[in-house]
């Protein structure tokens, strides 16, 4: 478990980001940059009001050195390609890719000052495993995987860059797909391990990528998907 590190979580007030903040806050200096802070008032963390799709990041509130950067904002926009307007692709790309780029460029100097920082992005199982109705989110998250590998090559050896590609995780973002027993059962049955993911296990995998245990790992996309990406049962 990582300790005494300065970790910036973009979008840490809900879902996976909140679970990660709760997991890391007791032993680390966690800074959460998000639009609201109502859900994190119980945590010993620093909050910076920030919208990754439009705001400039106020770095004056950050420590000089950041050891970790995690970008959590995302979207799940599942519709048939024929019914998707161009604006849907643009919106997904803005929040998933341009928001990540905008945020990272603002704090890159703080990460470089560490000498051994770690960056973690989130992709989706639908990038490597073709799934119907995922064209918009798969396109933007596919860009995230490309960004992960490109930056890993560019920043090595002083900054590591990895990503996690989960399947469906039980978070507020995915609530419309899991908001009754029938939907939950159907979603669980699609996964070889018989259930959907939970935010805590994604947070634990993120902590692994931030810490020394993964110090010989960069440019990788960690599949955390209940087996659905590789197995047919």
Domain residues for the domain of 203 are 6-171+198-224
- Residue 76's pLDDT is what? 87
- Residue 17's pLDDT is what? 97
Distances (CA, A) of 49 to 6, 41, 44, 52, 152: 18, 13, 16, 10, 28
Per the CB < 8 A criterion, the answer to whether 11 and 17 are in contact is: yes
Which residue from 14, 100, 13, 89 is spatially nearest to 53, judged by alpha carbons?
Answer: 100
pTM: 0.96
Write out pLDDT tens, residues 64-119: 999 999 999 998 889 999 999 999 999 999 999 999 999 999 999 999 999 999 99
Tell me whether residue 23 is in a domain: yes
Tell me whether residue 45 is in a domain: yes
Tell me whether residue 188 is in a domain: no
Per the CB < 8 A criterion, the answer to whether 125 and 225 are in contact is: yes
Write out pLDDT tens, residues 10-46: 999 999 999 999 999 999 999 999 999 999 999 999 9
Per the CB < 8 A criterion, the answer to whether 75 and 100 are in contact is: no
- Bridging pattern class, strands 197-198 and 221-224: unpaired
Judged against a pLDDT cut of 90, whether residue 230 lies above it is answered with yes
Judged against a pLDDT cut of 90, whether residue 1 lies above it is answered with no
Q: For position 47, which CATH number holds?
A: 3.40.50.720
Based on the residue annotation, tell me whether 123 is a catalytic residue of this protein. yes
123, 135, 140, 167: which one is catalytic?
123
Write out pLDDT tens, residues 148-173: 999 999 999 999 999 999 999 999 88
DSSP assignment of 167-181: --EESGGGGGGSSSH
Per the CB < 8 A criterion, the answer to whether 24 and 45 are in contact is: no
Distances (CA, A) of 123 to 25, 71, 166, 178, 186: 24, 10, 7, 20, 23
Tell me whether residue 113 is in a domain: yes
- Residue 227's pLDDT is what? 96
- Residue 169's pLDDT is what? 95
Tell me whether residue 35 is in a domain: yes
Per the CB < 8 A criterion, the answer to whether 190 and 131 are in contact is: no
Average pLDDT over residues 202-212: 98
Which residue from 178, 154, 179, 157 is spatially nearest to 168, judged by alpha carbons?
Answer: 178
Domain count, the chain: 1
Q: Which has the higher per-residue pLDDT, 175 or 45?
A: 45
């Amino acid at each position: 478990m990582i300790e005494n590190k300065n970790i910036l979580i973009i979008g840490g007030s809900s879902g996976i980001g909140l679970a990660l903040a709760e997991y890391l806050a007791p032993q680390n200096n966690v800074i959460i940059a998000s639009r609201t802070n109502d859900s994190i008032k119980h945590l010993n963390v620093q909050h910076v009001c920030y919208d990754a799709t439009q705001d400039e990041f106020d770095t004056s509130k950050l420590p000089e050195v950041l050891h970790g950067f995690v970008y959590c904002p995302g979207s799940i926009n599942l519709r048939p390609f024929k019914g998707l307007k161009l604006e849907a692709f643009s919106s997904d790309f803005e929040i998933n890719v341009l928001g990540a780029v905008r945020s990272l460029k603002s704090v890159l100097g703080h990460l470089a000052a560490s000498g051994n920082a770690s960056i973690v992005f989130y992709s989706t199982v639908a990038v490597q495993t073709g799934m119907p109705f995922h064209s918009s989110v798969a396109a933007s998250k596919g860009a995230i995987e490309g960004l992960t590998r490109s930056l890993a090559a560019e920043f090595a050896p002083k900054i590591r860059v990895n990503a996690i590609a989960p399947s469906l995780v039980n978070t507020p973002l995915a609530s419309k797909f899991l908001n009754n027993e029938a939907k939950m059962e159907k979603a669980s049955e699609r996964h070889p391990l018989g259930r959907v993911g939970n935010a805590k296990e994604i947070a634990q995998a993120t902590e692994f990528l931030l810490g020394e245990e993964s110090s010989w790992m960069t440019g990788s996309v960690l599949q955390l998907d209940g087996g659905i990406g590789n197995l047919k049962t």
